[in-house]
Amino acid sequence: MTEDTIAAVATALGEGSIAVVRVSGPEAVERIAPLFRSKTDLREAKTHTVNYGWIVDPADGAVVDEVLVTVMKGPRSFTAEDVVEISTHGGIVAVQSVLELVLRSGVRMAEPGEFTKRAFLNGRIDLAQAEAVIDLIRSKSNRAFQVARRQSEGALSKKIVPLRRQLIELLAHVEVNIDYPEHDVAEMTASAITETCGKVLEAVRGLLKTAAEGKILREGIVTAIVGRPNAGKSSLLNALAQDNKAIVTDIPGTTRDIVEESVSLSGIPLRLLDTAGIRETSDVVERIGVERSRGALNEADLILLVLNHNEPLHEDERRLLEELEGRPVIVVVNKIDLPGRLELDEVRSRFEAERIVEISAKEGTGIEALERAVSKLFFGGSIESEDLTYVSNARHISLLHGAAKSLQDAMGAAEEGIPIDLIQIDIAAAWEQLGEIVGDSVGESLLDQIFSQFCLGK
Amino acid sequence: MSYHAGDYDVIVIGAGHAGCEAALAAARMGCETLLLTINLDMVAFMPCNPSVGGPAKGHVVREIDALGGEMGRNIDKTFIQMRMLNTGKGPAVHALRAQADKFLYQHTMKETIEKQERLTLRQGMAEELIVEDGACRGVITKTGAEYRAKAVVLTTGTYLRGKVIMGELMYESGPNNQQPSVKLSENLRSLGLELVRFKTGTPPRVHQDTIDFSKTEIQPGDDKPKYFSFETEYSDLANQQIPCWLTYTSEETHKIINDNLHRAPMFSGAIEGTGPRYCPSIEDKIVRFADKPKHQIFLEPEGRNTKEYYVQGLSTSMPEDVQLRILRSIPGLEKVEMMRTGYAIEYDAVVPTQLWPSLETKLIPYLFTAGQINGTSGYEEAAGQGIMAGINAARKVKGEEPVIIDRSAGYIGVMIDDLVTKGTNEPYRLLTSRAEYRLLLRHDNADLRLTPLGYEIGLIPEERYRKFLDKKNRVEAEIARLRETKFKPDEEVQAMLASLESAPLQNTVDGVTLLRRPELSYADLEKLSPSPVELTEDMKEQVEIQIKYTGYIEKQLQQVEKLSKMEKKRIPEDIDYGIIHGLATEAKQKLDKVRPLSIGQASRISGVTPADLSILLVHLEHYNRVTAAARG
């Protein structure tokens, strides 16, 4: 059975460590070799060897990262297929850039759990493990689904949706011309195709440019900071921001008029929700209060619950503690420089010790402990350690490149006078690739569009 | 009281477009076959538009012909107009459409059936299926005749519990005032089949002598028509074509309809069945697209020896008096006489996800269904399923594996896969946009796609097959020759290129490269380097298409190749989805209902995610290894 070649990041997210991009399939070596500059040509590298060199963008020869590349020919590999592993420097940018190049070279993004699935199907994993393999696929897919759903409401999706709209209207028009040739619908012309495709192409290129600058696509762990007004949320925010001089992004939210900021916590990007709400003056905060935080809570990957060491638990806080049980929460006990009036025992009865961090935002103490706790929470196993958010960004970039190429092909074909039903193939490909970013599937919706856009019948 | 009326291999119930193909296929494959119809005068009747073909539908007719079916030959013998549509577009969507002499069409088909060996045509109303040990073994008619068979094909069209609706008037009826089939519908329900209620409609017919054609635009046929059947080389009918005519609704038309919407059953709630979006009634069009100032109306003759005209674009279930006023508000029809009133018809259909891709019902083995009973609309869609149901019923009787046409091999395959995998919530019509490999499913290459299969199953006679192979070989040889033939940038070549406004040659190139230039046709190349063996126009066309569109064709072939391993990965028919650990509940339910035969088919079920497919694959592998281990 011939399979296609797949890739994914095989290690957890985090700076300072090494990240591995794993590629598996019959074309693994062939696809990666052109990206790898080294004294050994990867095609000639012996199996089970580690090769030193650089990953370069074959388009312009630019060096992306210094890497070690391991070649393992099947069947003596994890998946029993040819496997190439690229060890890059840790951190988001390097691994994402490498993965993006790999995907652009014609390798498909692996589905959740696909390496393990292939290992099993190829007989590398014992029969007794079938159930465990299924559980892994299910849990990874569920997580990926949640991420995808969140992203479908994200800034990138909001920009993609109107582009797809333009393409589907164009497609519906082309299809009507084909399927209802005698209907009084104007024939689609090459110039109209070129015009629409040109507009969409320009927008896609714009997105790619912003992506390259890391403004839109670099999303991190969605984090909500919650707590009562006087607990010290804003001073925690300031401490985090100060600790990382650079605030990476400042995206005005599109749905809820909430400002988001990103900070990097030991290499882990946190996307902080509702920082505006936190920074507003206290009387306003009082008004917005818990109600507003609640919205953020539902979206968050990580919840930082800030409690005031200097005050007893408030009724609101008790309710929150109860509600947040079982969620990815870290309880931040702030103001430990002040006398303790907080019922810490009660908090401890609900949360494990490693989920409770004591800090003084004012004095800047305990921030490292918070970093360790976040790191532990995300890489210690209690949450899926593979951060699909940032991995899928590389996928998004490669899909945007693919869509751009299809649009160019369509425009080129229109110019050459190729018939519209053939140009349609490229337009549909662009529409589908953009659809993969927003998570829409192709199919019936084109027909729906045709029949809602045009009056047809006999 | 019933009596034993005969024993057959296959019984086909219903002699519409699906039933005729099913019965002919079964008989030609060697089965003793009975074709039962409510009314012998209605064999292959066209209750709606008098035309065959068009995009996707015409492709299906070509496919039926390539498999050895009848529809293509029959329309070639009975057309009054032939027109190739979409000629300004790519070769994949060129689509032949014929206007039929609907009476001649019927009579010609009836004659073919009457002459067919092993095929018995009989009038009778089937009321009850004979089911023994869970398998369908025959049928009992209203007159008590008990026909026994090894397999039964149901092609009941719009007759099952048919109900005609015109304005406030409503009565039980099949199409065109035929008797409806009520008991059979009840019988199917009691046997456990799930039925749905669908609706379709037809426009009024008018008298030719009361039409003022001067106010309409003429729509003639092609001077040199092509034909549907690969066997038809020439027809005298080409010189005796009759035009259609085009007019439009007026402001007055829209006003009459809007003023009478309260009498329209579509809006008063009298119609419960779901109608097709692509075939809306005129009242529907005017309500949904209120901004559109006028709608096209085509006037189509119903035959050579009749004055009846079909008013295409005016399908309606308005009351009779309103229909007449609507007609007379249309330019050219001011004084028109209405001969038949338009109507809507509701009928029962089988939920098609209850079928295997062979069109056999999962619930009752040896029972097949085809055509409108499976939720489709259109003569061609019906005939396409009919031939497949006939083939598979015959094969089942002979103990052979069913034949299933892949989505990449034919529109018939696309249609059946859509029906049995996704079902349909409205009468299903084929559109070229339903095919993901449109470029591979061309009008011109239906024989290359399906004639070898037709031959293999015994529907294509030896002589026709030899002819087909000869065509195929000549085309391949000519492509190979052009690949080897070099064209130098000499005076002759450059002059020809200049005359076609194509850039001059820089280097010597082969014929294939040269022909890929958009400005050049095979006819141009032929002048420079004629083929040493004789080629027909069809063969030349094939050479040109295969060379010109190689790039796009290759791309689609690669996609087919990529997905083919999913299609080949079989799922056992008796798999128990309930016990598969990790499968999402929705996926379990959907998979259990559709019972896909391959992972490829499973992937097309809505609600089955890639994760579910992965889990299913892991489960199958586990199952296979365990079974292998058990076998030792």
Report whether pLDDT(A267) > 60. no
pLDDT of residue A391: 47
SS3 (DSSP) at A337: coil
Report whether pLDDT(B464) > 70. yes
Buried b (16+ CB within 10 A) or exposed e, B61-95: bbbbbbbbbbbbbbbbbbbbbbbbbbeebbbbbbb
pLDDT of residue A284: 37
Of A141, A178, A457, the CB nearest to B432: A178
Determine whether the interchain pair B315/A112 forms a contact, defined as Cβ–Cβ distance below 8 Å: no
For B312-380, the three-class secondary structure string (H helix, E strand, C coil) is ECCCCCCCHHHHHHHHHCCCCCCCCCEEECCEEEEEEEECHHHECCCCEECCCCCEEECHHHHCECCHH
Q: Is residue A354 part of a domain?
A: yes
A110 is in an annotated binding site: no
B437 is in an annotated binding site: no
Split at pLDDT 50, 70, 90, the class of A386 is: very low
Of B315, B555, B615, the CB nearest to A457: B315
Q: Which residue of A has its CA nearest to B50?
A: A458
Q: Is residue A446 part of a domain?
A: no
Report whether pLDDT(A289) > 50. no
Closest listed residue to residue B414, CA positions, set B396, B394, B429, B392: B429
B321 is in an annotated binding site: no
- Nearest-CA distance B294 → chain A (Å): 10
Lowest mean pLDDT among A428-442, B99-113, B314-328, B455-469: A428-442
Same domain for A434 and A318: no
Digit-coded pLDDT (tens) for A214-240 = 433 344 677 888 888 778 877 787 777
Contact between residue B414 and residue B434 where contact means Cβ atoms under 8 Å apart: yes
A230 is in an annotated binding site: yes
Q: Is residue A24 part of a domain?
A: yes
pLDDT of residue A255: 28
Contact between residue B323 and residue B337 where contact means Cβ atoms under 8 Å apart: no
C-alpha count within 13 angstroms, C-beta hemisphere, residue A4: 19
Same domain for A111 and A22: yes
**Which residue segment(s) compose the domain that A112 sits in?**
6-126
Q: Of A98, A126, A154, at which residue does a domain stop?
A: A126
Long-range contacts of residues B548-557, Cβ cutoff 8 Å, at least 24 apart: B548/B515, B548/B516, B549/A422, B549/B90, B549/B91, B549/B439, B550/B516, B552/A422, B552/A425, B552/B439, B553/B439, B553/B440, B555/A425, B556/A425, B556/B408, B556/B437, B556/B439, B556/B440, B557/B440
Contacts for B605 with CB less than 8 Å, ≥ 6 apart: B421, B422, B590, B591, B594, B596
Q: Is residue A159 part of a domain?
A: yes
Same domain for A401 and A430: yes
Lowest mean pLDDT among A233-237, A375-379, B82-86, B124-128: A375-379
Determine whether the interchain pair A134/B619 forms a contact, defined as Cβ–Cβ distance below 8 Å: yes
Determine whether the interchain pair B313/A112 forms a contact, defined as Cβ–Cβ distance below 8 Å: no
Digit-coded pLDDT (tens) for B221-251 = 999 999 999 999 999 999 999 999 999 999 9
Report whether pLDDT(A441) > 60. no
Question: Going by DSSP bridges, is the β-strand pair B367-369/B145-154 parallel, antiparallel, or unpaired?
Answer: parallel
Report whether pLDDT(A283) > 50. no
Digit-coded pLDDT (tens) for A175-214 = 999 999 998 888 899 999 999 999 999 999 988 876 654 4
pLDDT, average across residues A101-119? 90
Contact between residue B259 and residue B313 where contact means Cβ atoms under 8 Å apart: no
Q: Is residue A83 part of a domain?
A: yes
CA-CA distance, B183 to A185, in Å (whole number)? 45
SS3 (DSSP) at B98: strand
Report whether pLDDT(A243) > 50. no
CA pseudo-torsion sign A320, A323, A329, A330: positive
pLDDT of residue A390: 45
CA-CA distance, B622 to B575, in Å (whole number)? 13
If you search the block for the tokens 């393990």, which residue do you land on?
A116
Output the CA–CA distances (angstroms, integers) from residue B298 to A457, B95, B176, B473, in the order listed: 11, 19, 21, 43
B461 is in an annotated binding site: no
Residue A75 preceded by cis peptide, ω within 30: yes
Between A40 and A453, the more confident residue is A40
Helices (H) and strands (E) in chain A, counts: 15, 14
Cβ neighbours, 10 Å, residue B499: 10
Number of domains within chain A: 3
Same domain for A417 and A349: no
Tokens coding A89: 């420097």
Show residues of chain A in contact with B425, CB under 8 Å.
none
Lowest mean pLDDT among A293-307, A368-382, B266-280, B358-372: A368-382
Any idea what the CATH number is for the domain that residue A175 is in?
Answer: 1.20.120.430
Same domain for A359 and A221: yes
Split at pLDDT 50, 70, 90, the class of A282 is: very low
pLDDT of residue A92: 66
Determine whether the interchain pair B619/A183 forms a contact, defined as Cβ–Cβ distance below 8 Å: no
pLDDT, average across residues B259-278? 81
pLDDT of residue B162: 96
Based on C-alpha coordinates, what's the Rg of chain A?
25
Q: Is residue A452 part of a domain?
A: no
The sheet that has A259-265: what strands, in order across it? A250-252, A259-265, A268-273, A221-227, A302-308, A329-334, A356-358
Domains identified in chain B and CATH numbers: 205-345 (2.40.30.260), 462-554 (1.10.10.1800), 569-631 (1.10.150.570)
Q: Of A126, A159, A185, at which residue does a domain stop?
A: A126
Question: Which residues of B, range 562-591, sit inside 8 Å of A by Cβ?
Answer: 562, 565, 581-582
Any idea what the CATH number is for the domain that residue A116 is in?
Answer: 3.30.1360.120
A426 is in an annotated binding site: no
- Nearest-CA distance A188 → chain B (Å): 11
Determine whether the interchain pair B285/A121 forms a contact, defined as Cβ–Cβ distance below 8 Å: no
Report whether pLDDT(B576) > 70. yes
If you search the block for the tokens 């004095």, which residue do you land on?
A363
Split at pLDDT 50, 70, 90, the class of B283 is: very high
Show residues of chain B in contact with A114, CB under 8 Å.
614
- Nearest-CA distance B189 → chain A (Å): 29
pLDDT of residue A382: 36
- Nearest-CA distance A332 → chain B (Å): 37
Which DSSP string corresponds to B517-575?
A: STT--HHHHHHHS--SS---HHHHHHHHHHHHTHHHHHHHHHHHHHHHHHHHSB--TT-
Based on C-alpha coordinates, what's the Rg of chain B?
26
Q: Is residue A1 part of a domain?
A: no
Between A287 and B278, the more confident residue is B278
Mean residue pLDDT of chain B comes to 95
Q: Which residue of A has its CA nearest to B581?
A: A131
Q: Identify the residue among A182, A384, A418, A441 best suited for mutation to test binding to B, counting B beta carbons within 10 A and taking the highest.
A: A182
Any idea what the CATH number is for the domain that residue A246 is in?
Answer: 3.40.50.300
pLDDT, average across residues A441-451? 69
Closest listed residue to residue B537, CA positions, set B261, B98, B233, B112: B233
Same domain for A369 and A222: yes
Digit-coded pLDDT (tens) for B39-66 = 999 999 999 999 999 999 999 999 999 9
CA-CA distance, A86 to A32, in Å (whole number)? 9
Same domain for A335 and A293: yes
Q: Is residue A367 part of a domain?
A: yes
Which H helix or E strand runs over B242?
A: none
- Nearest-CA distance A457 → chain B (Å): 4
Cα angle B61-B62-B64, degrees, rounded to a multiple of 5: 65
Determine whether the interchain pair A137/B614 forms a contact, defined as Cβ–Cβ distance below 8 Å: yes
Digit-coded pLDDT (tens) for B325-337 = 999 999 999 999 9
Tokens coding A456: 């047809």
CA dihedral A84, A87, A90, A96 (to 10 degrees): -30
Question: Which residues of B, range 587-626, sit inside 8 Å of A by Cβ?
Answer: 606, 609-611, 614-615, 617-619, 621-622, 625-626
Digit-coded pLDDT (tens) for B334-357 = 999 999 999 999 999 999 999 999
Split at pLDDT 50, 70, 90, the class of A252 is: very low
CA-CA distance, B158 to B177, in Å (whole number)? 12
pLDDT, average across residues B494-516? 92
- Nearest-CA distance A121 → chain B (Å): 6
Same domain for A105 and A170: no
Report whether pLDDT(A444) > 60. no
Same domain for A60 and A45: yes
Question: Going by DSSP bridges, is the β-strand pair A329-334/A356-358 parallel, antiparallel, or unpaired?
Answer: parallel
Same domain for A359 and A228: yes
Question: Which residues of A, range 437-456, sit inside 8 Å of B by Cβ?
Answer: 443, 446-447, 450-451, 455-456
Show residues of chain A in contact with B313, CB under 8 Å.
457-458
Question: Which residues of A, range 376-435, sit inside 8 Å of B by Cβ?
Answer: 416-422, 425
Lowest mean pLDDT among A140-149, A394-403, B489-498: A140-149
- In B419-530, DSSP assigns E strands to 486-487, 509-510
Q: Which residue of A has its CA nearest to B54?
A: A179
Same domain for A221 and A369: yes
Which H helix or E strand runs over A421?
A: helix A420-438
Report whether pLDDT(B315) > 50. yes
Contact between residue B57 and residue B28 where contact means Cβ atoms under 8 Å apart: no
The residue count of chain B comes to 632
Same domain for A408 and A302: no
Of B91, B615, B621, the CB nearest to A138: B615
Long-range contacts of residues A159-164, Cβ cutoff 8 Å, at least 24 apart: A159/A203, A159/A207, A159/A216, A160/A207, A160/A434, A160/A437, A160/A438, A161/A438, A163/A200, A163/A203, A163/A204, A163/A434, A164/A431, A164/A434, A164/A435, A164/A438, A164/A440
Split at pLDDT 50, 70, 90, the class of A131 is: confident
pLDDT of residue A288: 42
pLDDT, average across residues A171-175? 94
Residue B434 sits at the chain A interface (C-beta within 8 Å) = yes
pLDDT, average across residues B512-531? 92
pLDDT of residue B340: 97
ipTM: 0.91
CA-CA distance, A98 to A104, in Å (whole number)? 10
Mean residue pLDDT of chain A comes to 79
Q: Of A103, A126, A149, at which residue does a domain stop?
A: A126
CA-CA distance, A356 to A345, in Å (whole number)? 11
Contact between residue A137 and residue A113 where contact means Cβ atoms under 8 Å apart: yes
